Structure 1
């Protein structure tokens, strides 16, 4: 206990945690702002199918690139460890390999995007006008695909080198430029739905170019050279590809759980599925703050592992965990005291409000259970131990799905109880794996 208190009292670690966490929280908050402005701008066009086309097209694009946030995670872990070792050569290799991986994935996704989007639109069965405009919007957005993925990798790499302000600059500049160009292209130049897509593409490429500039500036502080021969060897790629593979599996499993929550909620009625969506927006809001602290854990713990500094590792984890616990308690109290106001701000439909009010206690508990999985994910990402993350997620899903099936008789209460148990099992499974690694004194050893 005294070791934990000593770690908590280390003021420089508190400063390092917030120097990384605060910019990432601000970056995260800018994301829903863009979606809100996009909707408001297109919502002022004369036809409903124009707004529907942007919503559908943006959803298709988000599904296409969403899971490849894995590029950020892997870049953060490897860059943080290389930075901790003072290995400028490895930093360059991680950056270039991540960008080459972006190029390969962009080509693959571009080839798959058109047929898959056609299949998705056929399943949705929208009107002919909406389908045509949504397809046009989506195809225009594909020109920004390489930039979207590159920005994700660059933000992760900058975070790994503890340049959170650089990551913030990339995200804020992209999102603010997107808003300004949307206003100009859609309302000023009257380019309509395609104008909104073009605004996003130009903003994404601008953000990616800024990220490259900031990465080049960061490398000046880390002497080294690029080892071209190593890039041609499979051995130099194996670790990065293995980590991305395992994080991809873990992410797909997580998306499956929340997709099934939506499906099961839909079966319980329109008001129920709408109320659940409003409440899950609360979880999303809490995740913005808690993810900022998790990003700090990724960078600081990865740096400590690279430097083989056990004390810095303990201090980083203890300080970030303490602040995350306080933040999760604050969100729990916020949802208990102001939950009805939060629901009312999102909807004025009496039936939806009435259903949502019943389940507010579950929302209040969610941050308290979810905070540990967020933080421990950050630790495992910083340690590039993606296999353990994957196994913990698969075990949690394997236990949660049968539980959800058994609790069907409780209706929406059963669905929320299953979700809470899933979040609890995520944290517990990661904690057990972390404890085992600690007992073997294996955190500073490279993962197999």
Structure 2
């Protein structure tokens, strides 16, 4: 009873609600625009004559997203350190945790460009799909790689903005990028009939425009936290050992997560072009869910990291309770929306009868997914804000090791087995990471400086 009374008191803290939604609402709106671009991509390509076009974009997007998400540490690692620097009011550290990840983004882009041919060949070799589908995937990825430096730099900027508790800047940046992407999709794919290549070029142009806008949005925050900018130290990565260790662990964690998504695509591809195209449609539901719930996770990252920088345990309790309850409300809203409007969304994405039929068959998995996934998004935000990447890495690797034999054992269920295995993986992530948080909290180790 006492615990329930304490939780209710934490929930009733109005200033915390305001702080959470000041960050979460702009991020939810801007994050939702990201999968909406995917919806537009899927819609314009899904109406071309042939499932191999849609399947090619799905596979190509997955391969390129694998690279982007593998470098997702550039955003996640930056957020935690930026939030803690703001909490400590350390302007010099805030500048350092911006410049060093930007430099790493450029180095990673150069490395991927250098090895792009063998990487692409490896990714496509593992797929047992039609040659027409693979050709479209190769075309798409080859063009998208031109945008890699801008896409990774935007990751850094968004993570830094979130850590500085400025949700307005990433909102403007993401909204501008995605609206530009939608407009260019319609122009290049529908208007000029460039097909898959048009969808890829639309994203390239949009990413570079977003980078220019993001750099322009830095100045107000830098003026708020004055400090020296040590360019040489940043470029030589001096003092970057904590950042590199966190980024290394997040990279391993993200590669494990991406391997699950890639396995999902591979399993679908081996069931036929129509199944992989249907799964591409259904993944848009998952993206809508994740980008919406990530808005509240971003608030937990920023406010949780800020509380850690100030060593304010009570503030962390408040933001954790408020973020959790609102995340549950939002996840239930997604469930209701998918149950009532899922078939209509599928109909908007493609007019291929066989793909629509397949997607409708497996739609119930998307309807229950938000309730299973919400916990992993929240816990990721909590651990990112505290820069506890090692725990995230270990929990993800353990979940992957448990998932692989499960996925193998479910092959006889076809595509239902693919989605059942993925649902179990999301639950495993949450149980493992949640258990570790409870252990650290009860041992009074969560607020220890790292």
| Secondary structure of the corresponding residue to residue 444 of structure 1 | coil
| Secondary structure of the corresponding residue to residue 236 of structure 1 | coil
Supply the distance in 2 between the matched residues of 1:270 and 1:53 (Cα, whole angstroms).
Answer: 9
**Count of aligned pairs:** 445
Supply the distance in 2 between the matched residues of 1:342 and 1:127 (Cα, whole angstroms).
Answer: 27
Supply the distance in 2 between the matched residues of 1:404 and 1:33 (Cα, whole angstroms).
Answer: 29
1:82 and 2:92 matched: no
Change beyond 3 A, Cα 1:249–1:140: same
Q: Which has the higher contact order (CA 8 A, sep 6+)?
A: 2
1:439 and 2:442 matched: yes
Pick from 372, 387, 392 the counterpart of residue 395 of structure 2.
392
Segment drifting more, 307-316 vs 331-340: 331-340
Question: Which residue does 2:209 correspond to in 1?
Answer: 206
Change beyond 3 A, Cα 1:358–1:150: closer
Segment drifting more, 25-34 vs 89-98: 25-34
1:314 and 2:322 matched: no
Consecutive unaligned residues in structure 2, runs of 5 or more: none
1:282 and 2:285 matched: yes
Question: Which residue does 1:117 correspond to in 2?
Answer: 120
State how 1:33-182 maps to structure 2 within 5 Å: 33-37=36-40, 60-117=63-120, 120=123, 126=131, 131=135, 138-181=141-184
Supply the distance in 2 between the matched residues of 1:366 and 1:207 (Cα, whole angstroms).
Answer: 31
Question: Which residue does 1:401 correspond to in 2?
Answer: 404
CA offset at residue 366 of structure 1?
1.8
Pick from 220, 225, 230 the counterpart of residue 223 of structure 2.
220
Supply the distance in 1 between the matched residues of 2:283 and 2:202 (Cα, whole angstroms).
Answer: 29
Supply the distance in 2 between the matched residues of 1:275 and 1:136 (Cα, whole angstroms).
Answer: 21
Consecutive unaligned residues in structure 1, runs of 5 or more: none
CA offset at residue 41 of structure 1?
6.7
| Secondary structure of the corresponding residue to residue 71 of structure 2 | helix
Question: Which residue does 1:373 correspond to in 2?
Answer: 376
Supply the distance in 2 between the matched residues of 1:9 and 1:421 (Cα, whole angstroms).
Answer: 34
Change beyond 3 A, Cα 1:62–1:416: closer
Please report the TM-score for the alignment, with normalisation by the length of structure 1: 0.86
Note if contact 2:58-2:280 (Cα within 8 Å) is conserved in structure 1.
no
Note if contact 1:64-1:113 (Cα within 8 Å) is conserved in structure 2.
no
Segment drifting more, 401-410 vs 322-331: 401-410
Please report the TM-score for the alignment, with normalisation by the length of structure 2: 0.85
Deviation track 1:417-448 (CA, whole Å, cap 9, x = no partner) reads 3322222111111111101110221222123x
Note if contact 2:92-2:227 (Cα within 8 Å) is conserved in structure 1.
yes
| Secondary structure of the corresponding residue to residue 220 of structure 1 | helix
Change beyond 3 A, Cα 1:191–1:238: same
| Secondary structure of the corresponding residue to residue 158 of structure 2 | helix
Change beyond 3 A, Cα 1:10–1:430: same
Deviation track 1:161-198 (CA, whole Å, cap 9, x = no partner) reads 01111001111222223344556667788988766655
CA offset at residue 305 of structure 1?
0.8
Note if contact 1:182-1:196 (Cα within 8 Å) is conserved in structure 2.
yes
What is the RMSD of the two structures over their aligned residues, measured on CA atoms? 3.5
